[in-house]
Chain A
Amino acid sequence: MKTNLFGLTLFQLKEVVSTLGLPAFTATQLADWMYKKQVTSIASMTNLSKQTREKLESKYCVGMTEPSKVQTSTDGTKKYLYPTQIQKFIEAAYIPDADRATLCVSTQIGCKMGCLFCMTGKQGFQGNLTTGEIINQVQSLPEFDKLTNIVYMGMGEPMDNVEAVLNSIEIMTSAWGYDWSPKRITVSTIGIIPAMNTFLERSQAHLAVSLHSPFDDERREIMPIQNVYPITQVVSEIRRWQLGRQRRVSFEYIMFKGINDTPRHANELVRLLHGIKCRVNLIRFHAIPDTPLEGTSPENMVTFQNHLKAKGLTVTIRASRGEDIFAACGLLSTKELLRKQQETDF
């Protein structure tokens, strides 16, 4: 079986060409063909000699994958399903807007975090995506040329696969890659502190933290990670980094009726985030099967938003997109998985 070149960084490509006894500049040519000219076969790399192409093709292929299914929402949002190398499925959601087009990418097949409100968690954890599988969601997108923003908020916890995430960002932001500004990229986390620090140290992309409750005990009920990395420590770490000038930090807050939408929660949120230049994104909960949670009404979300704004926080309510195709919740891939899955033993 041939090894994929797609998804390798320039450094990794240099290792490949070195192993094959090819000149180092071949790595730059490979990066140029794959990430700038976006060819899908080694045979198309016409400034490489025939001998070089044959040498590469004996062991390698580009290795891009087309989406296997697409669902289109009435609002224009599209959810793409991609098969992975281990015969599983992942999703990417394309969200066009008036002045921007955002792609929400996955970083893992399933997820280990087990958040109560998340459909992806119901798959359990199936595996990490490779850098190639992450970047493939971007480059094989039919709307690739329209993309203005990438958000790592699809299936999986990006910080639990941080090396692949960082490599994918390197491909997007390097001069030899897409040469995008890191300001076009936002990576989400539930707050795995060590990996979050690694991400903040090694990239310039924006950070989004899934907060969802400012109280340790209440957050633990909906997010098991709280047992290991409490939100107060996560916020302390972020405060230490003093973000907010060149890169943005936002806090994601899905609103659950009667659970985290009271004035008490708003007051504690203000206290928790005091002194951090940030934005709070209030998100309407898209119900998933068998959940005990209900979403806060739009009216109460506005009340909560106003409460926070009055205390000086920058707060937005994220527009719900692709609701008719469950764009945000991993449902499509979970269905595909469950169709194939055998029972796990425990």
Chain B
Amino acid sequence: MSHNHTLYKKQVSAIRSVAEGVYVLSFQRSFTFTAGQVLAIDVVPDGEARLYSIASGEQDKDIEILFDERPEGRLTPILSRLRVGDNIYISEPFGSFRSDAGKAYWIAAGTGIAPFVSMIRSGKATHKTLVHGGRYDENFYFASLIEKNFSGKYTRCCSQQEDTAYYKGRLTGWLKEYDLATDNRYYLCGSAEMVVQVRDILISKDIPFQNIVSETYF
């Protein structure tokens, strides 16, 4: 996608692999943002920047971005090879995927956990239930941070690992299996396919669509 956000030069302060092909990229924060917001990133100042949710907390020194390397993609194979000190170009944060203070389910697939991690790190996790879907146990990114800082119910749904310590199955299976509160808000983040399937399940369980807020990767 062509992009015309104004991009600012930053230097990578850290990059680490958190699972096979999945990375956390860090750079110094020089702006304020609200947990749940996205920013545009590129490795050139006038390229086709892509949008990523911020995974770090609002007051953290560094911004963290969680990304999944797509071998066929233009940007993520380059991002995954960045080293400390390399230049990247980022926009100011924007977007309005923000969780309110009331009771809510946060439902994420894969790297869609990022905005919820940001909310947890920003102290916005009271009265929340977190459901995260991944293929293997290693795909529950930030799990130890979540276990340490999140007081609500945290469910991990693992679709492909036979000996998983968590719910064995897709998160859509978990949502179908368990009772869900109809008066809660539901915040979804993941691929369009995940969002649409989860939303259909929630609606079939009498949750008003007005209570469902979705963020899709694109």
User: Which A residues form the contact surface with B (CB < 8 A)?
Assistant: 110-114, 116, 121-125, 157, 159-160, 162-163, 192-195, 197-198, 216, 220-222, 224-228, 230, 290, 292-293, 343-346
17 CB < 8 A contacts A-B = A110-B193, A111-B192, A114-B196, A114-B199, A114-B214, A123-B193, A124-B191, A124-B194, A160-B218, A195-B3, A222-B209, A230-B96, A292-B208, A344-B191, A345-B135, A345-B160, A346-B170
Nearest opposing residue in chain A for B214, CB measure: A224
A112 touches B217 (CB 8 A): yes
A344 surroundings in chain B (CB, below 8 A): 191, 193-194
- In the assembled complex, how far is the CB of residue A240 from the closest CB belonging to chain B, in whole angstroms? 12
B196 surroundings in chain A (CB, below 8 A): 114, 121-122, 124
Nearest opposing residue in chain B for A237, CB measure: B4
- In the assembled complex, how far is the CB of residue B111 from the closest CB belonging to chain A, in whole angstroms? 11
B5: Cβ under 8 A from any A Cβ: yes
A124-B192, A125-B192 given; A292·B209 CB < 8 A: yes
- In the assembled complex, how far is the CB of residue A40 from the closest CB belonging to chain B, in whole angstroms? 29
- Give Cα A157–Cα B216 distance, bound, in whole angstroms: 13
Which 3 pairs between the two chains have the least Cβ-Cβ distance? A124-B193, A346-B109, A198-B2
B96 surroundings in chain A (CB, below 8 A): 216, 220, 226-227, 230
B60: Cβ under 8 A from any A Cβ: no
B203 touches A290 (CB 8 A): yes
B95: Cβ under 8 A from any A Cβ: yes
- Give Cα A205–Cα B38 distance, bound, in whole angstroms: 31
- Give Cα A41–Cα B110 distance, bound, in whole angstroms: 45
Contact residue among B2, B97, B203, B216 (Cβ-Cβ distance under 8 Å from A195): B2
**Mask: chain B, 182-218; 1 = CB below 8 Å from A; 0 = not:** 0000000011111111011001100011101111111
B159: Cβ under 8 A from any A Cβ: yes
- In the assembled complex, how far is the CB of residue A99 from the closest CB belonging to chain B, in whole angstroms? 36
B197 surroundings in chain A (CB, below 8 A): 122
Contact residue among B1, B3, B97, B159 (Cβ-Cβ distance under 8 Å from A345): B159
B146: Cβ under 8 A from any A Cβ: no
B49 surroundings in chain A (CB, below 8 A): 194
A345 touches B170 (CB 8 A): yes
B94: Cβ under 8 A from any A Cβ: yes
Chain B facing A: main interface SS: mixed
A228 touches B51 (CB 8 A): yes
- Give Cα A155–Cα B204 distance, bound, in whole angstroms: 25
B57: Cβ under 8 A from any A Cβ: no
- Give Cα A112–Cα B215 distance, bound, in whole angstroms: 10
A197-B4, A224-B214 given; A113·B190 CB < 8 A: no
A159 surroundings in chain B (CB, below 8 A): 1
A192-B1, A198-B4, A227-B215 given; A125·B204 CB < 8 A: no
B192 touches A194 (CB 8 A): no
A290 touches B2 (CB 8 A): no
- Give Cα A225–Cα B194 distance, bound, in whole angstroms: 15
7 more contacts with CB within 8 A, not counting A224-B216, A344-B193, are A123-B193, A157-B218, A192-B1, A193-B4, A225-B218, A292-B203, A343-B170
- In the assembled complex, how far is the CB of residue B107 from the closest CB belonging to chain A, in whole angstroms? 10
- In the assembled complex, how far is the CB of residue A85 from the closest CB belonging to chain B, in whole angstroms? 13
Nearest opposing residue in chain A for B112, CB measure: A346
B195 touches A228 (CB 8 A): no
A125 touches B193 (CB 8 A): yes
B4 touches A114 (CB 8 A): no
Contact residue among A116, A193, A197, A230 (Cβ-Cβ distance under 8 Å from B199): A116
A221 touches B191 (CB 8 A): no
Contact residue among B1, B160, B216 (Cβ-Cβ distance under 8 Å from A114): B216
A224 touches B170 (CB 8 A): no
- In the assembled complex, how far is the CB of residue A205 from the closest CB belonging to chain B, in whole angstroms? 16
Contact residue among B172, B190, B192, B203 (Cβ-Cβ distance under 8 Å from A121): B192
Nearest opposing residue in chain B for A226, CB measure: B96
A121-B196, A346-B190 given; A112·B135 CB < 8 A: no
- In the assembled complex, how far is the CB of residue A126 from the closest CB belonging to chain B, in whole angstroms? 9
Q: Which residues of B in the span 97-132 have a Cβ within 8 Å of any Cβ on A?
A: 97, 109-110
- In the assembled complex, how far is the CB of residue B126 from the closest CB belonging to chain A, in whole angstroms? 22
B192 touches A110 (CB 8 A): yes
B97 surroundings in chain A (CB, below 8 A): 227-228
A113 touches B170 (CB 8 A): no
B5 surroundings in chain A (CB, below 8 A): 194
